[in-house]
Amino acid sequence: MAGRIYAFAGDVERDLLRLRGRLGKRGRTALQRDLDHDLGLLAGLLGDHDDVVLCEAPAEEGAALRAHVDALRRRGLRCAEPLARPEGEALAVDDLPSAARAPAPSDLDAGLRPWGWSPRLVERLRPVLQARDLDPTGRLQTALAAADKAHTAALRQALAPLGVRDDGALFGQSGALFDCWAQAEAAGEALVVKARFGGSGRDAIRLLPGRGEPTAAQRGWIERTLREQGSVRVERWWPRRGDLGLLLVPLPRTATAPRFGLLPAHRSHCDERGQFRGVALHGWDANHRRPPASDARAALDRVGHAAATLLQVLGYVGAAGVDLIEREGEAVPLPVELNARHTMGHVGHALGRAMPPGAQGWLWIAPRGEQAELRALAGPEGTIVALTPPELARRVVAWQVIRCVHDRDFD
């Protein structure tokens, strides 16, 4: 299917809060602006040569973006044609190549593929939405309902037959939350406090035992988040031995329930704070060197079905993902977040289809100018390919790292 329009946004969940009028005058941070600029081209890897990807970048960077995409295509990667538009500038219909001006009649979202439905992306795509007679109101409302981190409880409840219980709770007042922290401190347990509407790993803080009272900055973040969102979700912070992801993709309009297809689980990598760093470019088995235990497979199936059912009930249309962790001493993976949007796992899946035989790989996000960990991942015979232009990067660069399969210490 040609003529699709992709657009990236790394703050989908927080942006959705604008629908409730909860953010006041606070807008995106400089960090978020820079990340959206640096990583915008990754959304184009979900598409093909006849598609376009809207990149939040000055018009003068358009030539460099197009040259970079040409280089990726020469390497055999599929990527949409980039259209550079600065922050706040909408995409005009006349800006589109002819192939992207008329979507297929059966397309569920009129050829539009935002990273996730959010007010800011809707504004950027407004002229195209109007030309295609697509009212985004329903999409935004269901996206807001689906983005709530409180849904983690339902995913964990699906694993109750496998012995998993939900140790999380919602708190609407800081006093009760700090009482909970005091109990965890006495038991030597760590907690994570999550904004109900926030990006994976970023809109959260950890309260670790033995560190004393929460800092003024931590208390300020909690109070501000409670004012903006009404409540936060508090969970135990588990020691982890691995990160996993499930990907859900919408089925065609003619399909009957379930509305979502489930792709094989993949392995991810997050730092000690739970922030995303990379994703394996093949499924679990190809990168783990061992098949998951039967309990783990059963858990993944249950979580995938529960997520699909939940999204279908909410009326959500679009891609989604579930983050899980492997805990020390536990066979069953634990779901930690439902993401009602595209994820880096979807990009990794697209890249994995083009992997050469007998190779393993990662999609990896690294700070600008840092390549030491990339070389360690690639090994002496591996290759490192910049997926986003390093010369345009403000903070980070996305890389494809490929390592030969005979390097047994890859992961």
Question: DSSP string of 237-248?
Answer: ---EEEEEEEEE
Q: Which amino acid is at 367?
A: P
Residue 392 pLDDT level (bands cut at 50, 70, 90): very high
* pLDDT score for 76: 92
The pLDDT tens digits of the residues spanning 33-57 come to 999 999 999 999 999 999 999 999 9
* pLDDT score for 198: 87
Q: What is the mean pLDDT of the chain?
A: 88
* pLDDT score for 319: 95
Residues contacting 331, CB < 8 A, separation 6+: 293, 295, 296
Residue 293 pLDDT level (bands cut at 50, 70, 90): low
Range from 84-88, 327-331, 361-365 carrying the lowest mean pLDDT: 327-331
Residue 273 pLDDT level (bands cut at 50, 70, 90): confident
Contact present, 264 and 195 (Cβ < 8 Å)? no
The pLDDT tens digits of the residues spanning 96-138 come to 887 677 766 556 677 899 999 999 999 999 999 998 888 899 9
CA distance 190 to 174: 17
* pLDDT score for 265: 87
Domains and CATH numbers, the chain: 5-146 (no CATH), 150-236 (3.30.1490.20), 240-404 (3.30.470.20)
Contact present, 122 and 132 (Cβ < 8 Å)? no
Two tokens, residue 236: 């135990």
- Read off the pLDDT of each residue in 186-197 and give the average, rounded to a whole number: 94
* pLDDT score for 161: 93
